[in-house]
Every structure is written in structure tokens, then in C-alpha cells.
Amino acid sequence: MTPDLSSLDALPTPALLLDESRMMQNIGRLAERAERLGVSLRPHVKTAKSVEAARRLMGGVPSPITVSTLAEAEVFYDAGHRDILYAVGIAPQKLERVQALRARGCDLVVILDGEAQAQAVVQSDVPALIEIDSDGHRGGLRPDDPALIQIGRILINGGCLRGVMTHAGESYTVRGATAHADFAELERKAAVSAAEALHDAGLPCPVVSVGSTPTAHAARDLTGVTELRAGVYMFFDLVMAGIEVCAVDIIALSVLTTVIGHQPAKGWTIIDAGWMALSRDRGTAAQDVDQGYGMVCDENGRVLLDLIVCSANQEHGMVSLRSGVDGPMPDLPVGSRLRILPNHACATAAQHDHYNVLPQDGGPMQTWPRFGGW
């Protein structure tokens, strides 16, 4: 059903909008793909940071999830999720908080790539995955690094070795399904090679975890992998559209804004959504098409292809014709409403404390709280 948009008129702006129908289509798309590839799906909830959104992941049944902060782990555990991967390298000072959650019955697993971290988690009796570097993007060990086996032996002596994980973050730098599939295979090979190295050393490796949104949607084969992770796919954004992981018309998140003025000599229409509402993320700036601070849609969500938010101050955004487009600005009177599609859904959502949800059943708008913090 078409969402009821009548309540948009009364919504104060700027406001974060979530199209539930698009979100559910995106969730279903990856769930079906994971099933076809024969792996379990462990969604990353760092983008949504919303209990209500997470409930839609597995038909309302709390599922294994990935988090990026201990605050997320605590909130989602209280919401019923018991199997949680904290996928940021563990700092020893945070282990007391991890222990507290585990003592309450949460199977919270951490990641690490150093011997000092391994010693700390063993002393705290916390299970861990060893982070593998599959593409030089961030942290982790190369699969052939001798430290992999040394860390594995430290962990197994404490009964804390769960397996390996990797994240193909460099897949965000290439475009198209073929390039993403190639990164997915690099990701798979790195994780599986590390698991085989542990097995050859007589060490168990029950979990082989891979994932990024681009590679999750392009992987051809995940032989040897046990689980797949992805996060921004629930909403998608212009960065993902720019590298051809999704189409613009399935982006579920937008910011509703109001026209508050004009500067005709500069070719600007001014809106009440600045970087406090849209974020400062300029993730499309290095792509073939720079979307400024966001792509502009009319109030009903129809993309106005010639317009972008060209610049932003704290509470002001400037809408203009994109570079290379000739002609006059469209008539956008003061008081008219627009929607701005985000460059980076995680960053834009983080500027707001709730979603204004357009339900897929066509009913009245709902409010879903979201949270932040670490």
C-alpha cells in the first residue's frame, strides 16, 4: 500500500523519514541472498540503532546481530538479542562492561588482532574472533602472519578462540557488481585461509565471518564461510547507489526539510536542513557523481535529478542546480517541503533521535526511537 503522507504537513522540520516498505524490501533482498549462498546472516545494527528497526530483520524474532558499540550491545540485549558480535577491536578497559553483559546471559563476542588483547580477554574469560586483514583497509592480521597462530594459541589456552572475521572495506572504493564480486572473493579467501592456518596448527575455528554491504550483495561463492555481515543495506544511501550496489529509488531514508528563502543571484534555494540534520558526510565527493550534501526530492519522494544540496551550514542548506546543468531553478516557494536523500545513512541517522516512519501498510505515521552513545 502507498504510505499515508497527509501527516507530513504537520511534521516539524528538519525531520528524519523512514520508508518502511523500502526498508523491508532491502532486508528481504539480502536475507534471500544469504540463504542462496548457504550462510547465516548476522546483520549489523550500527546504522539503524533502533530496536523497532531491528525487530524487522528476522520477522520479529531476535536474531544474531553485529554491533559497533557496547551501548548498542546493551540496548539490543535488553530487547531480546542474545547472540552479539562487537565488531570493533577490543580495548582492555572495556572488558569489564563486556563481562557484565555476559554475566547477564549475553553471548557477547569481541574481536582482536594483537597478543596483548588476547591476553586480556583470556584473563577476563571473554570469547573472541581474530580479525583478518583482507584488503589493507583497516585493522587485522594477514592470513599468513605468524602472529595469527600465536594469538590463536593464547586464546585456545583460555578457551576463548571462536574463529576469524574480516571486513572488505575497500570494496566501497570500486563500482559495479563485477568489481564487488572480486573483492568478495578476496574477502572469502583471506578469512578461509586464516581458518585453514588455524586448523593446520591444531586450533579450532568454528566461525568464519565476512561481510560488507557491497560484497554481501555481489559474492558468487562463500564456500568455507559460516556467516555474512552487512549493515547499511537496511536503508541504503547515495554512496551505495554511486557504486551501483542499489538504485536511488530504494533508498529508505531521507530528511524532510522546508524551503526558507532564496538567493536568486547565487542560484540558491535555502532550506532548514543544514549539516546538523544532514551530517557533514561528503562520501560521494570522490565518486563519479558528486551529490553534494544530498540529492533533492519533492515532498512525495520523487527525485529532482537536477538539484543537490550544494553546501550546508549548521542549520541552513543551500539547494542549487548540479554542476553542468543549465536552465533556471525550479519554482520552490518559501514553505514548500522537500526531501533530501543522504550520502551516508549512518551519519545522517546519527543526527536524529527518532525516525518518522511511513508504514508499509499505508497507515498513519509512526515514531521509532533511536539511540546513540558508546
CATH classification of the domain holding 255: 2.40.37.20
Same domain, 221 and 89: yes
Domain limit, last residue, from 201, 234, 267: 234
Question: Residue 124's CB: how many other CB atoms inside 10 A?
Answer: 18
Do residues 258 and 351 both lie within one domain?
A: yes
Residue found by looking up cell 554491504 in the block: 213
Backbone angles phi, psi at 337, to 5 degrees: -105, 145
Q: Is residue 127 part of a domain?
A: yes
Q: Do 107 and 226 fall into the same domain?
A: yes
Establish if 239 belongs to a structural domain.
no
pLDDT at 107: 98
pTM, full prediction: 0.95
Same domain assignment for residues 227 and 256: no
Residues 307 and 165 placed together within one structural domain of the fold? no
Q: Are residues 212 and 321 in the same domain?
A: no
Length of the chain: 374
User: For 83, phi and psi rounded to 5 degrees?
Assistant: -115, 100
Query: How far apart are alpha carbons 246 and 302 in whole angstroms?
Result: 17
Where among 200, 234, 268 does a domain terminate?
234
CATH, residue 145: 3.20.20.10
Task: Report yes or no on 241 lying in a domain.
Answer: no
Domain extent, residue 315, equals: 6-13+246-369
C-alpha span between 273 and 239 (Å, rounded): 20
Indicate the helix (H) or strand (E) that contains 88: strand 83-89
- C-alpha 345/C-alpha 235 separation (Å) is 7
Q: What is the mean pLDDT of each run of 10 residues along the chain (374 residues)?
A: 69 97 97 97 97 90 94 97 98 98 98 98 98 95 98 96 97 97 98 98 98 98 98 98 98 98 96 98 95 97 96 98 90 97 98 96 92 96
Say if 187 falls within a structural domain. Answer: yes
Among 121, 190, 218, 193, smallest CA distance to 162 is for 121
Q: Has residue 176 been placed in a domain?
A: yes
Q: Tell me, yes or no, whether 324 and 230 share the same domain.
A: no
Q: What is the pLDDT of residue 6?
A: 62
Q: Is residue 131 part of a domain?
A: yes
- Are residues 251 and 351 both part of a single domain? yes
- Whole-number pLDDT of residue 247: 97
| Same-domain pairing of 114 and 222 | yes
Domain closes at, from 212, 234, 256: 234
Angle in degrees, CA 109, 111, 112, rounded to 5: 145
Q: Which pLDDT does position 62 carry in this prediction?
A: 87
Decide if 139 is inside a domain: yes
Q: Are residues 208 and 303 in the same domain?
A: no
Number of compact structural domains in the chain: 2
